[in-house]
Amino acid sequence: MADLETFRTQTQGWLEVNAPKSLAGLPLAPDGGNWGGRRAHFDPPEMKPWLERMAERGWTAPTWPREYGGGGLETDQAKVLREELSRLRMPSPLTGFGLTMIGPTLLRYGNEEQKREHIPKICRGEIRWCQGYSEPGAGSDLASLQTRAERDGDDFIVTGTKVWTSYADLSDWIFVLVRTDPRAKKQEGITFLLIDMDAPGVSVSPILLISGKSPFSETRFEQVRVPVRNVIGEIDGGWTVAKALLGHERSMIADAFGGGAGQRKGRGGSPLADLARRYLGNGSGRLNDAVLRDEIARCELDERAFHLTVQRARDAAKAGHQPGAESSLFKVYATELNKRRTELAVRIAGPQGLGWEGPGFEAEEIDRTRQWLRARGNSIEGGTSEIQLNIIAKRVLGLPD
Ligand SMILES: Cc1cc2nc3c(=O)[nH]c(=O)nc-3n(C[C@H](O)[C@H](O)[C@H](O)COP(=O)(O)OP(=O)(O)OC[C@H]3O[C@@H](n4cnc5c(N)ncnc54)[C@H](O)[C@@H]3O)c2cc1C
């Protein structure tokens, strides 16, 4: 305990000197700011020194081993660090699929050479990763994927198409599932492969969404030569690695869309109640519409309860517990909660909640409309809600097929 207090004091001292004060409480652009990578865009620019200083200390991945660029912190020390960052209202120095998906998967399934090659670059934010799972004919039924990888000496030759690859146009490397044995039972002929997006034969075409943005792409592989040493786990044994990564992805989605409620609260009270005061306030501090009042209170309470549950799971994960089928439960709940929250925000703002462009709307209002539309995709990405409910029925509740 005394050690932990010493750690807190040292952390406070270091942050006092190194955390750029201009970043405190700043909302970051949803798709920018701190994703890192070769084409990193630092907005605002102080994000760059903030990332570099935190990476130098290993605190972009606080609990990962020091030998790979992590901070080597114990779970309770990492919690202290989170608390101190939150107290100072500092944005996360780095986010993305490296930290949340492929990094944890490499730590568990990668060999020593793969860990030494990729994990330090993830921790320093040098390489941005994307995920090549879905295909035009394989989404919910992922094991039906058809992208082929044929052995040619020390390489595989990869041919096929992936779709809905989030941020493929901004990423440097991709982790993909490929079919290496077309004769085996479908789950058994799949291999998990890492591919450099600069490799000859990789091409990316962005797809435009209802929100007016284009955060994902179709990714094509035409005779792409990939070294066999880029296989994670066993050849034809990629399904196990793929499922473990999906557990991390679903936990990440739950965390991003529902589990961060406590942090949002820390950044200035209850956002929905603040919005209601702004658009519907009558000066008394109380809303006239009792039904809306009730809906806001329910949403805020559900958010906080869920945040605490996610926090508990996060602590368990830091202590070495790998996310299992319960990550499906979190994913369903978080995405439904996010849809409720964004829907309520738009209702509260009334006509100003439907801004698309033009001088009649503030940037924040246009952003709110787009977030509401973007939330429609939450119950599809990372595996649809129907699929999660199937997993919960079978693996959590033990119901028969
Ligand atoms: C915002 C966003 C980002 C994404 N990012 C990525 C990414 O980076 N990389 C990547 O690989 N993929 C990504 N995806 C793709 C996502 O994983 C797939 O869209 C998802 O798995 C569903 O697959 P599908 O679109 O082919 O739908 P389908 O599988 O065709 O499903 C269509 C409908 O049928 C239902 N359904 C299907 N099977 C069953 C069943 N057995 N029981 C009950 N209902 C069923 C589904 O729930 C759905 O409603 C992203 C998707 C979105 C929306």
Mean pLDDT (the chain, rounded)? 90
Whether 83 and 226 share a structural domain? no
Residue 126 phi, psi dihedral angles, 5° rounding: -85, -30
* Closest approach atom of ligand 1 to CA 374: 1
Q: What is the distance in A from the centroid of ligand 1 to the CA of 324? A: 20
* Residue that the structure tokens 């994927």 belong to: 145
Of 236, 255, 270, which residue sits at a domain end? 236
Instruction: Name the least confident of 24-33, 273-282, 370-379.
Output: 24-33
Selection from 116, 119, 193 nearest residue 150 by Cα: 193
Q: How confident is the model at residue 309 (pLDDT cuts 50, 70, 90)?
A: confident
Q: Which ligand 1 atom minimizes the distance to the CA of 97?
A: 8
- Residues 192, 222, single domain; the answer is yes
Domain boundary residue, one of 201, 219, 236: 236
Q: What is the whole-number distance in angstroms between the Cα of residue 383 and the centre of ligand 1?
A: 5
> Does the pLDDT value for residue 265 go beyond 50?
no
Q: Are residues 250 and 229 in the same domain?
A: no
Each residue of 65-83: pLDDT tens digit?
999 999 999 989 998 999 9
Question: Among residues 84, 135, 249, 365, which one is catalytic?
Answer: 249
> Is 109 contained in some domain?
no
**Domain membership flag for residue 119:** no
> Is 401 within the bounds of a domain?
no
Range of the domain at 94: 2-102
Q: State which of 84, 102, 120 marks the end of a domain.
A: 102
Q: What separation in Å is there between the alpha carbon of 140 and the centre of ligand 1? A: 5
Calculate how far, in angstroms, residue 400's C-alpha sits from the geometric centre of ligand 1. 23
- The torsion angle over the Cα atoms of residues 25, 29, 35 and 38, rounded to 10 degrees, is -120
112 is catalytic: no
Instruction: Identify the CATH number of the domain in which residue 306 sits.
Output: 1.20.140.10
Is 111 contained in some domain? Answer: no
pLDDT value, residue 26: 77
Q: Report, as an integer, the average pLDDT of 214-222.
A: 92
Q: Is 89 exposed, middle or buried (0-12, 13-18, 19+ CB in 10 A)?
A: middle
Residue nearest ligand 1's atom 44 by CA: 386
Please tell me the distance from the alpha carbon of residue 48 to that of residue 394, in angstroms, as a whole number.
Answer: 45
Residue nearest to atom 3 of ligand 1 (CA): 381
The 10s digit of each residue's pLDDT in 87-125 is: 999 999 999 999 999 999 999 999 999 999 999 999 999
DSSP string, 178-222: EES-TTS-GGGGEEEEEEETTSTTEEEEEE--TTS---EEEEEEE
Query: Is 112 part of a structural domain of the chain?
Result: no
Whether residues 224 and 268 share a domain: the answer is no
Q: Considering only CA atoms, which residue is closest to atom 30 of ligand 1? A: 139
- CATH number of the domain bearing residue 193: 2.40.110.10
Distance from the Cα of residue 379 to its chain's centroid: 14
The DSSP string of 341-390 is HHHHHHHHHGGGGG--SSTTS-HHHHHHHHHHHHHGGGGTTTS-HHHHHH
Asked if residue 97 and residue 27 are part of one domain, the reply reads yes
Average pLDDT over residues 173-179: 98
Report how far residue 283's alpha carbon sits from residue 336's, in angstroms, rounded to the nearest whole number.
32
How far apart are alpha carbons 366 and 234 in whole angstroms?
47
pLDDT number for residue 169: 93
Minimal-distance CA residue to ligand 1 atom 26: 139
Q: What letters, b where the CB count within 10 A reaches 16 and e where it falls short, cover 14-48?
A: bbeeebbeebeebebeeeebbbbbeebbbebebbb
| 363-385 average pLDDT score | 88
pLDDT digits (tens, 9 = 90+) for 143-166: 999 999 999 999 999 999 999 999
Least confident span in 218-222, 235-239, 311-315, 333-337: 311-315
Residues 307 and 225 in one domain: no
Residues 268 and 378 in one domain: yes
Residue listed under structure tokens 């005779």 = 223
In a domain, 293, yes or no: yes
Percent of the chain with pLDDT over 90: 65
pLDDT over 70 for what percent of the chain?
92
151 and 76 within one domain: no
116 in any annotated domain: no
**Predicted TM-score of the model (pTM):** 0.88
Q: Look at residue 264 in the predicted model and tell me its pLDDT.
A: 46
Read off the pLDDT of residues 224-250 as tens digits, 9 standing for 90 and up: 999 999 999 999 999 999 999 998 888
My answer on whether 64 and 90 are in the same domain is yes
Residue 170 and residue 216 in contact, taking contact as beta carbons nearer than 8 Å: no
Cβ contacts of residue 260 below 8 Å, gap of 6+? 307
pLDDT class for 351, splitting at 50, 70, 90?
very high
**For residue 267, what pLDDT is reported?**
36
Domain identity same for 170 and 246:
no
Q: How far, in Å, CA of 335 to CA of 253, rounded?
A: 8
The Å distance, Cα 21 to ligand 1 centre, comes to 41
Q: How many domains does the chain have?
A: 3
Query: Apex CA 25: angle with CA 23 and CA 29, to 5°?
Result: 75
pLDDT band at 262 (very low <50, low <70, confident <90, very high): very low
CATH number of domain containing 29: 1.10.540
Residues with CB under 6 A from ligand 1: 130-134, 139-140, 164-166, 216, 377, 380-381, 383-384, 386-387, 390
Which of 51, 72, 54 shows the shortest CA–CA distance to 63? 72
Do residues 373 and 265 share a domain? Answer: yes
**Residue 192 near residue 175 (C-beta atoms within 8 A):** yes
In a domain, residue 212? The reply is: yes
Amino acid type, 353: G
Same domain, 228 and 260: no
